[in-house]
Amino acid sequence: MLGLVLLAAGCVRTTDGAPAGVTPSLPEPALTTEAAPDPDHVARQFLEAWKAGDYESMYALLSPLTKDALPFDDFVGRYQDVMRAGAFRSVEYAIVSSLVQSPQRAEVRFRVTLDSAVVGPITRENRMDLTRDRGEAWRVAWAETAILPDLEGGRQLSLSTITPTRANIYDRDGDALAAEPSADQANVAALWLVPNEIGDEEAEESLLTNLRRLFDLASTDPILERYDAIRNTNFFVPLGEVPYEEYQRVGGLLASLGGIYARTYGARYYYGTGLTPFAGGVAPHAVGYVSQIQEQELEARRAQGYQGDEYVGRIGVEAAFEQELRGVPGGTLSLLDSEGNYIGALEQRDPQPPYAIYTTLDRGLQAVAQRAIEGFAGAVVVLERDTGAVLAMASSPGFDPNLFVGGNPLLGNETLQMLNQADQPYVNRATSGLYPPGSTFKMITMAAALESGFFEPDTVYYCGLTFEDLPGITLYDWRYEKELPASGELTLQGGLERSCNPWFYHIGLELYKRGLPSAIPDMARGFGLGQATGIEIGDEAGQ
């Protein structure tokens, strides 16, 4: 029996097919591993978006919990408030290290440098926390310390700025073209005239003589013609501005003659050349003018360290050398608690003085050029032959740059009216006006002729009153309209001296026939036509 029992037992099977009494073995487990994604990638995306000011992309990288607690506008506002408060103009960063603490949490450490236009760069070691949910990508668990660790607990930044006094602009001899006042001291006098309040004819003559001297008018200036239009009226006529020290010398005399009203004030002053209202200022288009920061540019200017109440250059030297004339502001960036109480200074820097600008302009020559072109629409430029230095640059009609300076009692609707004038007096016709070169182009045509080898300086051509070598077209010499006789046979050099139009028509046609159709435009480009001159205040390239 025992043998049967044992035999029977040996035949018992478990449910999985293994003999009874034997422990079944499990298959080897299949191991799979999945590394958490690199948090550096998301951190770098977030910081790059900050550099670019792309707050939408930054917000898109925040964790869902952060977004639930922080609306987009609040998020953007906090960054913009910090950037504005510190006058931060750029962001730089460097990833230092990253640590994946668990499949759901990571930490990235980075170094951030915020460059302030007022106090310079501020560098901090910083940290960014990241989370991920259900295998999703890393997202930033944002806190204010992700901007600066100093902002923990709702702390704020406060910036106090010290702005240097704007530097002066001078001509080649050191005579001022634009100057700042001394501290708390008037440097400008604005004058008005009421003709009917002038004494007798003798007083009138003396008054006009002294005004001519005061406003530095030429002896031939038609001041009486201007005055005749308002004589015997009670009009309150603005005359313009003059340096205070010059007004002081004759102010008492003018007051005794009657009819003159004056108000002194301190402001940036542009030296004038004439009595015509709103046409003063030496080289106003080249020197430029300043005006207060406008609302639409306030944010951009604050990012450059401006407080918002400064005057900035608009055109000419004032605009081209804004940074040099302004200097480098200084100040202190302070840390305040959430209640606005002072905690301490984060960074400070002393202001750096501005640089005065010395131009190549000759103030006296410039005044002569402006007077010569007054009443016309156009431009006069006087260059020094050997250096190319601009000695005078006059554009007409002109304007008075003093009208844009705050504190000027003459400032008013006249300024707006001036800007709206159809003749655009604020446009620099010397640099922005595009005009046909006229007979000055003959020098380029002559150079192309000589360069071709087909012409010599003594090559002779008959200069008639007309040019009829093109079928169906008749072109004329300038002497035709003047009813002068033809110049006759002229060498190439003589053709230039006489400015003979047919000579140069002939050159153009002859070069074309000889297979050199681009010789003249190529020479024009060689002379620099079609390119900007590189003058510091900017110019149009021409054609």
Distance (Å, whole) CA 260 – CA 211 = 10
CA distance 248 to 524: 54
For residues 335-356, give the mean pLDDT: 92
Higher-pLDDT residue of 484, 224: 484
Residues 6+ apart with CB under 8 A from 455: 449, 492, 507
Instruction: Write down the pLDDT at residue 358.
Output: 97
Residue in the structure block whose two tokens are 């002729």:
449
Closest CA to 448 of 387, 494, 404, 509: 509
**Which of 487 and 210 is assigned the larger pLDDT?**
487
Say whether 324 sits in a helix, a strand or coil. Answer: helix
Cβ contacts of residue 200 below 8 Å, gap of 6+? none
Strand, helix or coil at 319?
helix
Distance separating alpha carbons of residues 333 and 87, to the nearest angstrom: 9
Asked if residue 194 lies in contact with residue 236, where contact means CB atoms within 8 angstroms, the answer is: yes
Helix (H) or strand (E) holding 524: helix 519-526
Q: Residues in the chain, how many?
A: 543
Residues 6+ apart with CB under 8 A from 11: none
With a pLDDT cut of 90, the percent of the chain lying above it is: 53
Q: Which two tokens stand for residue 389?
A: 């230095």
Q: Can you say whether residue 315 is alpha, beta or left, with left for phi > 0 and alpha for psi between -120 and 50 degrees?
A: beta
DSSP type of residue 239: E
With cut-offs at 50, 70 and 90, classify the pLDDT of residue 511. very high
Mean pLDDT across the chain, nearest whole number? 85
On whether the CB atoms of residues 308 and 296 are closer than 8 A, the answer is no
For every residue of 415-466, which 3-state class applies, written as one string? HHHHHCCCCCCCCCHHHHCCCCCHHHHHHHHHHHHHHHCCCCCCCEEEECCE
Residue 444's pLDDT is 97
Say which residue, 219 or 37, is predicted with more confidence: 37
Task: Read off the tokens for 364.
Answer: 């006296």
pLDDT confidence of 9, banded at 50, 70, 90?
very low
Which residue has tokens 């770098």? 44
What proportion of the chain, given as a percentage, has pLDDT over 70?
Answer: 86
Greatest mean pLDDT range, 261-265, 279-283, 345-349: 345-349
Q: Quick check: bond before 397 cis, omega within 30? A: yes
Say if residue 476's pLDDT is above 70: yes
- Binned at pLDDT 50, 70 and 90, residue 237 comes out as confident
Q: How far apart are CA 316 and CA 313, in angstroms?
A: 8
Residue 470 has pLDDT above 90, yes or no: yes
Q: Measured at the alpha carbon of residue 121, what is the angle toward residues 44 and 341, in degrees to the nearest 5?
A: 100
Confidence label for 300 from pLDDT (cuts 50, 70 and 90): confident
Q: Which of 521, 478, 468, 524 is nearest to 499 (CA)?
A: 478
Q: Look up the pTM and report it.
A: 0.72
Predicted pLDDT at 309: 79
pLDDT tens for each residue of 146-184: 999 999 988 999 988 888 889 999 999 999 999 887 665
Mean local confidence (pLDDT), 264-283: 69
Question: Phi, psi at residue 190, to the nearest 5°?
Answer: -100, 135
Task: Tell me how far apart the alpha carbons of residues 436 and 459 are, in angstroms, rounded to a whole number.
Answer: 28
Q: Count CA within 13 A, CB hemisphere, residue 389.
A: 11
DSSP class of residue 485 equals P
Give the H/E segment covering residue 216: none
The DSSP output letter for 144 is: G
Alpha-carbon span 531 to 189, nearest angstrom: 43
HEC-encoded secondary structure of 39-94: HHHHHHHHHHHHHCCCHHHHHHCECHHHHHHCCHHHHHHHHHHHHHHCCEEEEEEE
Averaged pLDDT, 242-259 = 82
Q: What is the pLDDT of residue 121?
A: 95
Mean pLDDT for the stretch of residues 447-476:
96
Give me the residue label for tokens 């025992």.
Answer: 2
C-alpha separations of 202 from 222, 230, 402 in Å: 19, 18, 32
How far is the C-alpha of 458 from the C-alpha of 490, rounded, in Å?
8
Q: What pLDDT, on the 0 to 100 scale, is given for residue 407?
A: 64
Neighbours of 302 (CB within 10 A): 19
What's the mean pLDDT in 107-129? 95
Count of C-beta atoms within a 10 Å radius of residue 438? 8
Mean pLDDT highest for which of 203-217, 240-254, 393-407, 483-497? Answer: 483-497
Phi and psi at 319, nearest 5°, equal -85, -45
